[in-house]
Amino acid sequence: MAVRLLSHELSDLCLGKPALRSLSVTSTIAEALEVLKTSDDNFVSVWSCDHKAKTSSGFESAAGFCDNYDDDDCRCVGKVCMVDVICYLCKDEYLVSPSVALKEPVSVLLPKIPGLVLHVEPSCSLLKAIDLILEGAQNLVVPIKTNLSNKRKQHQKPSPTVTVHKGREFCWLTQEDVIRFLLSSIGLFSPVPAFSIDTLGIISSEILTIEYHSPASAAIGAISRTLVDQTSVAVVDSEGCLVGEISPFTLACCDETVAAAVKTLSSGDLMAYIDCGGPPEDLVRVVSSRLKERNLNGMLEHFSMSMSCGGFSSSSSDEESMAASPLPRSGRYSRSMSYSARMVRRAEAIVCHPKSSLVAVMIQAISHRVNYVWVIEDDCSLVGIVTFSDMLKVFREHLETIA
Q: Which of 396, 337, 390, 347 is nearest to 367 (CA)?
A: 337
Judged by phi (left if over 0) then psi (alpha if -120 to 50, else beta), residue 250 lies in: alpha
Reduced to 3 states (helix: H, G, I; strand: E, B; else coil), residue 386 is: strand
For residue 320, the surrounding DSSP H or E stretch is: helix 319-324
Reduced to 3 states (helix: H, G, I; strand: E, B; else coil), residue 269 is: helix
Residue 285 CB coordination number (10 Å): 11
**Hey, where are the domains in the chain?**
1-52+73-147+160-174
Residue 7 CB coordination number (10 Å): 10
- Within 13 A of 76's CA, how many CA atoms are on the CB side? 31
Residues in contact with 146: Cβ distance below 8 Å, sequence separation at least 6, in sequence order? 164, 167, 168, 169
Q: Are 360 and 105 in contact (CB under 8 A)?
A: no
Q: Which of 262, 244, 257, 274 is nearest to 335 (CA)?
A: 274
Residue 238: exposure state from Cβ atoms within 10 A (0-12, 13-18, ≥19): exposed
For residue 382, the surrounding DSSP H or E stretch is: strand 382-387
Residue 191, preceding bond cis, omega within 30 degrees? yes
Three-state SS string over 28-97 comes to EHHHHHHHHHCCCCCEEEEEECCCCEECCCCCEECCEEECCCCCCCCEEEEEEEHHHHHHHHCCHHHHHC
Pairing relationship of beta strands 382-387 and 372-376 according to DSSP bridges: antiparallel
Q: Which of 331, 333, 351 is nearest to 342 (CA)?
A: 351
What pLDDT, in 10s, does the model give residues 90-112? 999 999 999 999 999 999 999 98
Global pTM reads 0.83
Q: How far apart are CA 338 and CA 331, in angstroms?
A: 16
pLDDT the model gives residue 144:
86
Q: In what order do the strands lie in the sheet with 242-246?
A: 208-211, 233-236, 242-246
Q: Provide the b/e sequence for 214-228 (b: ≥16 CB within 10 Å).
A: ebbbebbebbbebbe
Q: How far apart are CA 125 and CA 131, in angstroms?
A: 10
Helices 281-293 & 297-308 angle (0-180, nearest 10):
160
Q: Determine the Cα angle at 112 with ends 176 and 143, to 5°.
A: 45
Residues in contact with 318: Cβ distance below 8 Å, sequence separation at least 6, in sequence order? none
Class of domain 1-52+73-147+160-174: alpha beta
pLDDT the model gives residue 192:
95
Residue 309 CB coordination number (10 Å): 11
Q: Which ranges of the chain have pLDDT less than 70?
A: 1-4, 50-73, 145-167, 276-277, 310-347, 402-403
Residues in contact with 20: Cβ distance below 8 Å, sequence separation at least 6, in sequence order? 44, 45, 76, 141, 162, 163, 169, 170, 171, 172
For residue 127, the surrounding DSSP H or E stretch is: helix 126-134
Q: How far apart are CA 280 and CA 269, in angstroms?
A: 10
Four-CA torsion 249, 255, 256, 257, nearest 10 degrees: -120
Reduced to 3 states (helix: H, G, I; strand: E, B; else coil), residue 242 is: strand
CA quadruple 390, 227, 350, 18: dihedral sign: negative
